Amino acid sequence: MRDLFRLFPLVRKQIVRQPLRSGLTLSGVAVAMFLFCAVEAMRAGVEQATRVTADDTVLVVYRENRYCPFTSRLPQYYGDRIEALPGVLSAVPMKIEVSNCRASLDVVTFRGVPEAAFLEHFVPGFTFVEGSVDDWRNHGGAALVGEALAIRRGVHAGDQLDAAGITVKVAGIIRSTEPQDENVAYTHLSFLQEVSQRGGTGGEVTQFQVKVDDPQKLEAIAQSIDAEFARDSDPTSTRPEKAFVAAAAGDVLEIVRFASWLGWGALAAVFALVANAIVLAVRDRVREHAILETVGFVPRQIGTLIVMEGTILGLLGGIVGAIGALILTQQRFSIGMEGLSIEIASDPSVVLSGLLLSVALGLGAGLVPALRASRRPIATSFRAV
Amino acid sequence: MSLIECRQLTKKYTRGDNEIIPLDELDLSIEAGAFLALMGPSGSGKTTLLNLIAGIDRPTAGELRVEGTDIARLSRSKLARWRSTHIGYIFQLYHLVPVLTAYENVELPLLIQPISRKERHARVAQALELAGIADRHDHYPRQLSGGQEQRVAIARSLVTDPPILLADEPTGDLDRASSKAILELLLRLNTELGKTLIIVTHDPTTTHYAKETLHLEKGRLVSEAPPALAAEVKSAGDGRGERDA
């Protein structure tokens, strides 16, 4: 440990006084770590949105064989029949309108919900960043906008939000632990039904959000709902909410899984980059290391110098890359598809793991060159130059 | 007991199919306070002998004692620590670290010594002063002339106050005036500070500063300089007025 303190000033001078070499290595590490953190943030968002947990109690009832809010139409009166089924606590009808049905990074999703159900089942889970629920209640064309969507679109309470041919007044900005709530605008159901009559009529909704009394019965109740409407003109497909998101986002999940390989590829690139930079630096400094040993540095200290340099470059590059990824995720991007949103989350654990990995890679990349340099006989080193 | 004692000192290595013997059963004793010039043709074993005394290289056979320590038996790490307090090494091409200033180059050997920053600073300042390069302490090697670089290298070799200074052709890359200045500096270190000085050189002028000159040929000491070298030394001696001036 004492060696580290003694040698640090020397390592610092080597890094700072060779700005081109250090800068190139550092920027390479930073770009790779940015890619890794961004991809990992995306993966973390997907995981958070689709991980089914044992205490999930929410089902989503959709029109069978429909995969987009534009085409899923269910009669609103289904709600009463669903609520009558054993184990169902509530069935909230929901009209969904989206600005883009395909996968996109900037989808605006409107969710129309009945006022009473909204106040009872949704509002208690919200924290109001701006505005209030009263403003929403008092204005038929008002919307409560999720914070991520508000940041992305740059709107505040009192502004207007235009998307998908719908204009709403922003009555409040809400924060929620549910990723879906962060990326939608909640409107009155009747308002959304009225403004979005594309070949349909009022009394139609896109889906029902069903709350059950026992997480253990989730699958059984889903089957009983689908059985209830199997012979109706609009049969249903009911799944746990997280499974519904996972199914709707199937294509995106595949892409994210592939991207996560790219993230690991970026890490491998970091390793190769730092190792290459260190190998070249060590080769250039064969004579310098021989001088150090001539003036009394022991081989272990020479190895430590090399490993420290790799580790510091890895750490600095990792910090720059992680900051870049953090800035990106602060924009609250979300991948929207079929009315659902998966937020690219700025999870601190992703940043921390990225930093630890870049340090570990820098350290690992320096080990072999350090070992070789510390074992090379001095006389051979002087003869080599 | 002599400061440096070599008994049957031999160094061999192979290059391809050939066995090369730079030093062949050399016997040599060097007393403390000596100023010894080692001369001889290229490949005669001068630098090899210097490297063995510094512990930079290891003998193949024989014994080498410096201040009573059989340095061939020391491990590489122990040898490095021993060298830091016993040996100051001056190279022909100075071998300064390019990204460090003159001050920082001189400070290098002290970074690993258990001394305070204040003492380190004092020692570096003193060494730079002794070498006559204190006014260039914040210059990088690329900003110094050859003679100035060699002064920094000498300051670095002095900074740990070792009893033995080894110099491998210290004037080999310098012009005449710079060579003279460096040799005078080395002479002062020998006479005023009592450093034992061993210089490998091809420059006959050096012999006039040294108290003793030894000639090596094919890894062995020869009693007299080869005729061609003797003539060179004589001719250089005729112009020694420069040193006395």
**A108 alpha carbon, distance to own chain's centre:** 17
Rg of chain A's alpha carbons, rounded to an integer?
28
B239 to chain A, minimum CA–CA distance in Å? 35
Q: In a 3-state reduction of DSSP, which class is residue B18?
A: strand
Q: Which residues of B touch A293 (CB under 8 A)?
A: 80
Could you list the residue range(s) of the whole structural domain that residue A264 is in? 2-49+251-383
Same domain, A330 and A304: yes
Same domain, A74 and A118: yes
Same domain, A202 and A229: yes
Beta carbons of B99 and A377 less than 8 Å apart: no
- Give the closest of B84, B99, B104 to A296, CB-based: B84
Of chain B, the percentage scoring pLDDT greater than 90 comes to 73
Q: In a 3-state reduction of DSSP, which class is residue A58?
A: strand
Using pLDDT thresholds of 50, 70 and 90, give the confidence band for residue A373: confident
Given a cut of 50, whether residue B43 has pLDDT beyond it is yes
CA distances from A50 to A125, A175, A215, A341, A342 (A): 19, 20, 16, 11, 9
Using pLDDT thresholds of 50, 70 and 90, give the confidence band for residue B224: low
Q: Which residues of B touch A298 (CB under 8 A)?
A: 76-77, 80-81, 112
**Touching check for A14 and chain B: CB below 8 Å?**
yes
Q: Which residues contact A120 (CB under 8 A, 6 or more apart)?
A: A90
In this structure, what token pair is assigned to residue B11? 């160094």
Same domain, A69 and A209: yes
Q: How many domains does chain A have?
A: 2
Same domain, A290 and A379: yes
Q: Which residues of A touch B108 (CB under 8 A)?
A: 10, 291-292, 295
Tens digit of each residue's pLDDT (9 = 90 or more) over B171-202: 988 888 899 999 999 999 999 999 999 999 98
For range B96-104, the mean pLDDT: 95
Q: Which residues contact A92 (CB under 8 A, 6 or more apart)?
A: A79, A113, A114, A117, A118, A121, A122, A208, A209, A210, A211
Of chain B, the percentage scoring pLDDT greater than 70 comes to 91
Q: According to the model, what pLDDT value does residue A269 have?
A: 80
Q: Which residues of B touch A9 (CB under 8 A)?
A: 111
Asked if residues A353 and A41 have their Cβ atoms less than 8 Å apart, the reply is no
A299 to chain B, minimum CA–CA distance in Å? 7
Q: Which residues contact B170 (CB under 8 A, 6 or more apart)?
A: B90, B91, B92, B150, B153, B154, B182, B183, B186, B199, B201
- Give the closest of B51, B77, B109 to A295, CB-based: B109
DSSP designation for B155: H
CA distances from A248 to A102, A204, B38 (A): 11, 21, 86
A244 falls within a domain: no
Beta carbons of A288 and B100 less than 8 Å apart: no
Same domain, A27 and A173: no
Maximum separation of any 2 CA atoms in chain B, in Å: 54
A21 falls within a domain: yes
Q: Which residues of B touch A18 (CB under 8 A)?
A: 99
Q: Which residues contact A80 (CB under 8 A, 6 or more apart)?
A: none
Rounded Cα distance, B31 and B8, in Å: 18
B244 to chain A, minimum CA–CA distance in Å? 34
Of chain A, the percentage scoring pLDDT greater than 90 comes to 31
User: What is the chain A residue with the closest CA to B157?
Assistant: A295
Beta carbons of B80 and A299 less than 8 Å apart: yes
Rounded Cα distance, B83 and B56, in Å: 9
- Give the closest of B77, B108, B109 to A300, CB-based: B77
Find, among B223, B224, B219, the residue nearest to B52 by Cα.
Answer: B219
DSSP string, A237-280: EEEEHHHHHHHHTHHHHHHHHHHHHHHHHHHHHHHHHHHHHHHH
Residue keyed to tokens 């991948």 = A335
Rounded to the nearest integer, the mean pLDDT of chain A is 85
DSSP designation for A162: E
Same domain, A179 and A327: no
Same domain, A76 and A185: yes
A241 falls within a domain: no
Tens digit of each residue's pLDDT (9 = 90 or more) over A220-248: 999 999 999 999 989 999 988 877 777 77
Same domain, A141 and A207: yes
Find, among A252, A182, A237, the residue nearest to A67 by Cα.
Answer: A237
Same domain, A229 and A351: no
Q: Which residues pair with A147 in a beta bridge?
A: none
A7 falls within a domain: yes
A54 falls within a domain: no
Tens digit of each residue's pLDDT (9 = 90 or more) over A187-219: 999 898 888 765 455 688 999 989 898 888 888
Q: According to the model, what pLDDT value does residue B174 have?
A: 87
Rounded to the nearest integer, the mean pLDDT of chain B is 89
Among A204, A234, A264, where does a domain finish? A234
DSSP string, A94-135: EEEEES-SS-BSS--EEEEE-HHHIIIIIGGG-EEEEE-HHH
Nearest-10 crossing angle of helices A299-330, A2-16: 60
Best mutation target among A2, A17, A295, A375 (most B Cβ atoms within 10 Å) is A295
For range B196-209, the mean pLDDT: 91
Best mutation target among B71, B99, B101 (most A Cβ atoms within 10 Å) is B99
Rg of chain B's alpha carbons, rounded to an integer?
18
**Touching check for A287 and chain B: CB below 8 Å?**
yes
Beta carbons of A379 and B57 less than 8 Å apart: yes
Interface A-B, measured as beta-carbon pairs within 8 A, has a size of 59
Using pLDDT thresholds of 50, 70 and 90, give the confidence band for residue B242: very low
Given a cut of 70, whether residue B226 has pLDDT beyond it is no
- Give the closest of B56, B57, B95 to A287, CB-based: B95
Q: Domains in chain B, ordered, with CATH? A: 4-244 (3.40.50.300)
Q: In a 3-state reduction of DSSP, which class is residue B178?
A: helix
Tens digit of each residue's pLDDT (9 = 90 or more) over A28-85: 888 888 888 888 888 877 777 777 666 778 899 999 888 777 788 899 999 999 999 9
Given a cut of 70, whether residue B207 has pLDDT beyond it is yes
Among A234, A265, A297, where does a domain finish? A234
In this structure, what token pair is assigned to residue A121? 């089942």
Q: Which residues of A touch B97 (CB under 8 A)?
A: 288, 291
Q: CA angle A170-A59-A130, nearest 5°? A: 20
Q: According to the model, what pLDDT value does residue A285 have?
A: 87
- Give the closest of B81, B99, B109 to A17, CB-based: B99
Beta carbons of B76 and A298 less than 8 Å apart: yes
Rounded Cα distance, B111 and A77, in Å: 83
Same domain, A225 and A80: yes
A380 to chain B, minimum CA–CA distance in Å? 9
A311 falls within a domain: yes
Q: Which residues pair with B222 in a beta bridge?
A: B215
Among A174, A209, A234, where does a domain finish? A234
Beta carbons of A13 and B83 less than 8 Å apart: no
Best mutation target among B112, B149, B165 (most A Cβ atoms within 10 Å) is B112
Beta carbons of B112 and A6 less than 8 Å apart: yes
Cβ count within 10 A of residue A191: 19
Beta carbons of A296 and B104 less than 8 Å apart: no
Rounded Cα distance, B235 and B225, in Å: 14
Beta carbons of B84 and A295 less than 8 Å apart: yes
A352 falls within a domain: yes
DSSP designation for A199: S
A58 falls within a domain: no
Q: Which residues contact B72 (CB under 8 A, 6 or more apart)?
A: B58, B59, B63, B64
Q: Which of A145-149, B44-48, B226-230, B239-243 has the lowest mean pLDDT?
A: B239-243
Rounded Cα distance, A72 and A82, in Å: 17
Same domain, A140 and A216: yes
Q: According to the model, what pLDDT value does residue A8 have?
A: 92
- Give the closest of A9, A296, A382 to B83, CB-based: A296
Cβ count within 10 A of residue B164: 23
